[in-house]
Amino acid sequence: MKPYQKVPINDCGEALLPIPLERFAVVAPHPYAALGAPYGDRSPYFLRESVLTQLAQAQTALQAKQPGWLLQIFDAYRPIPVQQFMVDYTFEQLAKEAGLDPKSMPEQARAHIHAQVIQFWAVPSPNPNTPPPHSTGAAIDLTLCDANGSAVEMGSPIDELSPRSYPNHFANSAEPQTQKAHHNRSLLAEVMVGAGFCQHSNEWWHFSLYDQMWALQQGEGAIARYGSI
């Protein structure tokens, strides 16, 4: 169990609403749907109502600092079956990269790879007390696009399982390119946190609002407003 999963939830019952994609940039095709993730008739481009409101505020703040720039949405709502699919897919990819058969690998190797996976991916728990953040409609993965519509340099791709994904990994770098990446990460964090979101400690791209992770960062006594939906 991760620390944030111990935070109590009192779901406010707020609606899950479609993201107005015309206001943002969007990674297309959707990366997980393209892999075959089982969304069924549900869309990844949904968030809770208040999260949508604050996302629009972050977009406004970004354009005040960088006219023409857009938040680029990578992923948002993720049903638990999709979370399970992506955890399994990531595990299999890491196993294959290590030259191992995911179906018949030594238990020690399996445990090692599983630990790598859950450092970045939330466990697809059906327990209403420990939902994956994306399954609450409160979390979003995103990056930035410049005024030409090009994704800006962030130093590592979304979903990379390495220390390069930590938000401040390049903070002390002397290399111009990674300094630029750190500046862009800092800008993304500034506009998102300024709109009330919290940032995942291991992922520069992941932000959430009013879920367990957010509540943990607010301090003792805070309660999550969103559970699994």
Residues noted as catalytic: 203
Q: How far apart are CA 198 and CA 95, in angstroms?
A: 32
CA distance 55 to 53: 5
Residues in the chain, how many? 229
CA distance 98 to 191: 38
Cα–Cα dist 214/174, whole Å: 32
Closest CA to 103 of 113, 111, 115, 95: 95
Contact 188, 144 (CB under 8 A): yes
